[in-house]
Amino acid sequence: MTTHENITFAELGLSLQMLASLEKKGFEKPSAIQEQVIPLLLNWDKNVIGQAATGTGKTAAFGIPLLETLLHESHPQALIMVPTRELAIQVAEEINSLQADLKNKLSIVSIYGGQSYDIQLRALKKWVDIVVGTPWRIIDHLHRKTLKLQEISYMILDEADEMLNMGFVDDIEEIFKQTNEDKKVLLFSATMPKVILNVAKKYMGDYQLVSVQTTQMTTTQTTQIYFEVRESDKFEALCRIIDIESDFYWIVFCKTKLDCDFVTTKLNERGYQAQGLHGDVQQKQRERILKSFKDRKVKILVATDVAARGIDVNDISHVINYSLPQDTESYVHRVGRTGRAGKTGKAITFVTPQEYRKIVLIQKVTKTDIQKGSIPSTDEIMQARRLKLKADIDSVLAGQKYQQYSEVANYLLENFTPEAVVAALLKLNYQDGLTPDSFKQINEVSIDTTGTSRLFIALGRKGGYTPRSLVDFIQTEAGVSPRDIDDVRVMEDFSFVTVPFADAEVILHVFAKQNKGGRSLVSKAKDKTPQLRAGRDSDGGSRGGYSSRGGRDGRWDRSFWASRAWGSQRSFSGGNRSDDRGFRREDKASSYGRGENAKRGQGRRR
């Protein structure tokens, strides 16, 4: 999270009680969004649109002013709308935790699909100051007349792009209609598509736009590493990594529920305490699991993306991508779980040889450096285990709580050498944990990352393209440097270019949703594509160098890319999330933005 170097919470004009609460919470300085939004709400009474993603401290940015300005009343005074039940719980908890030291505490209730009405009705019947809810459940309560929003001071839309993306636009409008006119409206969203600004125009009147850069938010404090590993060796690799890291508080991400169950069961069998969290886990059980994870009774949480969204746990030391995420954005979300609030963290990703291209694409799109790591060897594990063993015994000795064993100890020492006794006890306790032969072998995988790809582009001379303008087009849309674009061949209706395969992945990704005459705008060229000999086109397009790059790399032909499962890099596309009703939303990769850009790009050229 970006925090400002100089401004303090006190300088934002917060009360002493609030300052004490924030200190207790461990917040030292306001984050960038807090620094901007808090004064607007406290001093200027403004409607605010904040462009900020999760991880920027946006919840406290609106939560602190609510707590500072609202008084306990007999009707709800603030409504916070969120897209998912996880976020509803998280936002309510976060705001609640900010009032630890306030004398007059506000009552905060979360209402969401999947939770029994009884609990919510009981909560709503009491005095409620702040309601945090998902749109459908809010509407439900409005219809049942168990919730009244005619006297609210604040209406807050959190993760507005996600809500609209999940199809809640009509519901949000209905909720707006059932509220009083003179409320203040705050809208937070990671992206700002037009449809959001339309909602704002319709319901917000004057507003102040606040934006913070978030792309660097979560990954800067996190070391990112990937390991090349076969699918069948992943579990063994995971255990070795857990062994080698001294302090751990982990989330292990899996693609499917089955994987999640498999990894959880196997980890427990091996003696690592782990809990699994996925869409089939009942709400009650889920809350129990999260509590034991938050309390650090369980230090490894194995989760799917859906289940992990909205989990707000600080100090995660490691994120392990046991399976690669569905899209680049999910990768950023997953990795963003560690390295928060100034802490350092490690994100480790397992990559099978078939998946190598995905990690290349993630690096390109997120502009991060993901270092290649090597799986710890058995020698390294043994060394780590020995050190841990010594440390464990040291701490038992220091605690001096072993007197009940003194009699047995004396008997053993009278009859055997001290070394034999200690070694036998260790064997009894650790079995074969320090025997190299007990480790399953992990086969080295080495992925060759060199090579180029030849791409077919459905744009040609008829559309006014020359080699130069085609290279320019690719550079503008996909950010590929002209130096890396070789063998440009522009024909009447289509063209060919050769690029390093990492760039090819980016180009294919950027143009994935665009068609021309029923055919993808850009696709992998068939093997026999026209190539020119070395030399330069008259109008400056590059023609040479294909042969020097060694031609197209056929090894990757049947890669994942054929399936085009990779979603948009925009956060607008989102991953799967459990929605309002507790259902899961299918991943709807949106072409928003990409399409816009590309259209703009083409327009300029014609």
**Contact residues for ligand AMP (CB under 6 A)?**
1, 27, 29-31, 34, 54-60, 94, 312, 314, 340-341
CB of 158 to ligand AMP, least distance (A): 9
CB of 66 to ligand AMP, least distance (A): 13
Residue number with CB closer to ligand AMP (130 or 260): 130
Q: Identify residue 322 by its one-letter amino acid code.
A: Y
Residue number with CB closer to ligand AMP (218 or 352): 218
Provide the sign of the torsion angle of the four alpha carbons 304, 310, 312, 317, taken in this order.
positive
CB of 296 to ligand AMP, least distance (A): 16
Residue number with CB closer to ligand AMP (106 or 510): 106
Residue number with CB closer to ligand AMP (500 or 574): 574
Crossing angle of helices 406-415 and 418-430, in 10° steps, is: 130
Residue number with CB closer to ligand AMP (1 or 147): 1
If residue 469 lies in a helix (H) or strand (E), which one and from where to where? Answer: helix 467-478
How are the residues of the chain apportioned to helix, strand and coil, as percentages rounded to the nearest 5? 45, 15, 40
CB of 92 to ligand AMP, least distance (A): 12
Burial (Cβ within 10 Å: 0-12, 13-18, ≥19) of residue 449: middle
443 contacts 233 by C-beta, under 8 angstroms: yes
| C-alpha pair distances (Å), 217 with each of 69, 303, 310, 363, 461 | 29, 22, 16, 16, 44
| Helical residues (DSSP H) of 101-210, grouped into ranges | 117-125, 135-144, 160-165, 169-177, 194-204
CB of 61 to ligand AMP, least distance (A): 7
Residue number with CB closer to ligand AMP (29 or 468): 29
Residue number with CB closer to ligand AMP (91 or 488): 91
Residue partners of 353: CB distance under 8 A and separation at least 6: 228, 230, 445, 447
CA dihedral 135, 136, 139, 145 (to 10 degrees): -120
Residue number with CB closer to ligand AMP (219 or 542): 219
CB of 337 to ligand AMP, least distance (A): 10
Cβ count within 10 A of residue 314: 12
CB of 34 to ligand AMP, least distance (A): 6
Residue number with CB closer to ligand AMP (28 or 493): 28
CB of 320 to ligand AMP, least distance (A): 20
Cα separation, 325 vs 304, whole angstroms: 9
CB of 212 to ligand AMP, least distance (A): 10
Residue for token pair 């050769």: 498
Cα separation, 470 vs 581, whole angstroms: 47
Cα separation, 80 vs 580, whole angstroms: 14
76 contacts 125 by C-beta, under 8 angstroms: no
